[in-house]
Amino acid sequence: MLKACVIGCGVISQIHIPVLLGMEDVRLVAVCDIDPAKKPGLPDPVHFYTDYKDLYEKEHPDVAHICLPHYLHYPVSKFFADHGVHVFCEKPAARDAYELEQFIAVEDAHPELKIGICFQNRFNDTSIKLRELVGSGEYGKILGAFAANPWQRDQQYYNNGTWRGDFKLAGGGCMINQAIHLIDLMGLVCGPVRSVKGVSMNLLDLAIDVEDTAVAKLDFENGARGVFFATLANSYNAGPFLEIRMEKAIFQIDSRKLYQLDESGERKLIVEDKALEGSKFYYGSSHGRLIRKFYDAIEQDTTDYVHVKDARLSNQVIDAIVRSGVIGKEILL
């Protein structure tokens, strides 16, 4: 039985911990947070630590789940990998493309380990079916894509986690923290990106130095054009939207449902995702599916999980949007 630990007891850990407790072949041995007030209510004998190095020395886990602020993802993952522990790291894998390359170097240096990244929306039923339809060849080639992530965040959100509004600690705002899943799915469905032109900005008067809104044009290597929009200035957390226009069909993922549009624009429902319970239903519901796949990869020694390398495109696109907005020019990837 594999021994697991969770490093960081913030909001996202509340999704990881129940999944681990529900797995028969995994034993959650410990959780860790520098703030003792964040100690979650857990069954015995799950131990609580305030120092992840102390946790490692006493527990020697097989797998570490990294649920920390962005600036700690790479260094803490590196610590556990360098000590022979498999790593499952929350998104983003890194704050920028440069740091991601350092993380990839750690992955390359430890071929005996599995280091997975939590892009759970890849494993939503809607995403799986969309990729199947696009890849079938039945609908011709991809002509274009449109993605929108209109969510809502206020000053209290940033006050509750001050690192989120600090560019050096978070690596960015709405793109890297919220809409990175949509960017990842655009690349997964449409393929490599050739160039990016965009701008990031702030529409809200919040005390932060990260963007709350971004818009960009993505030109893919296959000739398709994508348009991406993300904001935290919406009045509520709307479900993410992704449209793929092909030669013979248009598909839309809208609020956890995959549709195909007919010639009159009427939408036919193809499949619907299970909703995540609670107020964070718009996150996507496939954390459990992805975590299960990661542990299967460890136990069966397969490569069927989301690798650090798989996060390269999303980090590169985000960096390119920011840089494009600064210099006012298209960025070649």
- Count Cβ atoms within 10 A of the Cβ of residue 38 and give its class: 0-12 exposed, 13-18 middle, 19 or more buried: middle
- Express as a percent the part of the chain with pLDDT over 70: 97
What is the C-alpha to C-alpha distance for residues 311 and 101, in angstroms, rounded to an integer?
Answer: 10
Name the phi and psi angles at 117, rounded to 5. -115, 140
pLDDT digits (tens, 9 = 90+) for 88-147: 999 999 999 999 999 999 999 999 999 999 999 999 999 999 999 999 999 999 999 999
181/281: higher pLDDT: 181
The pLDDT, as a whole number, for residue 151 is: 97
Q: Which tokens is 227 given?
A: 């348009």
For Cα atoms 190, 191, 193, give the angle at the middle one, nearest 5 degrees: 105
Q: How confident is the model at residue 77 (pLDDT cuts 50, 70, 90)?
A: very high
pLDDT band at 34 (very low <50, low <70, confident <90, very high): very high
| Domains contained in the chain, CATH given | 2-120 (3.40.50.720), 122-281+308-332 (3.30.360.10)
More confident residue, 279 or 48: 48
Say which range, 42-46, 113-117, 187-191, 306-310, has the weakest mean pLDDT.
Answer: 42-46
Q: What is the pLDDT of residue 278?
A: 55
Among 54, 95, 66, residue whose Cα is nearest residue 5: 66
